[in-house]
Amino acid sequence: MTETSNDGQQFDRLPATADDREVEGRATREEVLNWWDQRFEIPPETFEEYSFWEKGKGKIWILRGNVASPIRIEALGMKFLRTRQEHWKPTTNAVQRFGREAEKNVIELTREQARRFVRGEDQELDWDGDWGYLVATHELAGESEPLGVGLFVHGELKSPVPKGRQRDL
C-alpha cells in the first residue's frame, strides 16, 4: 500500500476521521473541530455547514458548503488554520470571523492595547491563562469583537496580524 502525498496545486477535502485518511500527515475534519473546541471552546456545531480543505502543505481552508474534491483552482473559501507543525495556528481572518463564539483563551484588550495589537506590536501584559494562541478582543459598539489571533508566551502578547492587515488607528 503506497501513501498518496499532498499535491500543492489542488484543494483536497479533509478526511472525516483518521480511518479515512489517505494522505500522510493530513489533518482530519474531526481533529480540526476538536482543536477549535479544545483551544477556544468554539463548539463543533459552529462548522456544521462548512467543509475543510488542504492546499499547500498544512494550509487548511474553510468553505461554506461543498464542491467536488480534488479541485484545481486558485482559492477556496478562507485560509483557516495552519497544521503540520507542533502548534496549530489559526489565521487572523478566521479568528475575526469565528472568534466571537470563543469561550476560552479569550483576552480582552483595552483600546490602547488593541491599537498596539493591530499595529503588529508585541506587548507585555498580565495573563494568567494558557500560553499559546489566544483570541484577542476589544469592545466595539457595545460588544466584544475579535481583533485576531494573538500569541502569548513569557509574559508577552505577540501580534501575528499580517502586514497587509495592520493599521495605525
Partner 1 sequence: MEKLERYEPLVEDFDAFLDACERPLPSVVRVNTIETTPERAKAALDEEGVGWTGREWSDTVLELDTDNPGSTWASYHGWIHGQEEVSAIPAEVLAPEPGERVWDACAAPGSKTTQLAALMDDAGLVVANDNNLGRLSALRFNTERLGVTNTAVTNTDSRNFSLKPFDFDAFDKALVDVPCSCEGTIRKNPTALDDWTMDHVRSVAGVQKGILTRAIQATKEGGTVVYSTCTFAPEENEAVLDYALEEEDCRLVEFDVGLDSRPGVTEFEGETYDESVRKAQRFYPHHNDTGGFFCAKLEVEG
Minimum distance from residue 118 beta carbon to partner 1 (Å): 6
Task: Based on the shown chain and the rule CB under 8 A, indicate whether residue 163 belongs to the binding site for partner 1.
Answer: no
For position 33 contacting partner 1 by CB under 8 A, the verdict is: no
Cβ proximity to partner 1, 56 vs 132, nearer residue: 56
Nearest to 91 by CA among 56, 115, 65: 56
Q: Which of 125, 129, 128 is nearest to 158 (CA)?
A: 125
* Window 130 to 159, contacts with partner 1 (CB under 8 A): 140-143, 145, 147
Which residues inside 56-115 make contact with partner 1, applying CB under 8 A? Answer: 62-65, 67-68, 71-79, 91, 93, 96-97
Determine which residue in the list 9, 19, 24, 169 makes contact with partner 1, applying CB under 8 A: 169
End-to-end Cα spacing for the chain: 56
48 interacts with partner 1 by CB under 8 A = no
Helix, strand, or coil here: 13?
strand
Does position 1 interact with partner 1 (CB under 8 A)? The reply is no
C-beta of 106 vs 132, nearer to partner 1: 106
10 neighbors 74 (Cβ within 8 angstroms): no
Distance CA 137, CA 160 (A): 14
Tell me which residue of 119, 129, 120 sits closest to 153, measured CA to CA: 129
Does 124 contact partner 1 by CB under 8 A?
no
Q: CA torsion sign, 8 to 148 to 63 to 13? A: positive
Least distance in angstroms from the C-beta of 6 to partner 1? 19
Q: Indicate the SS3 state at residue 88.
A: coil
- State yes or no: residue 29 binds partner 1 (CB under 8 A): no
- Between CA 50 and CA 148 the distance in angstroms is 20
Chain positions contacting partner 1, by CB under 8 A: 49-50, 62-65, 67-68, 71-79, 91, 93, 96-97, 118, 140-143, 145, 147, 164-165, 167-169
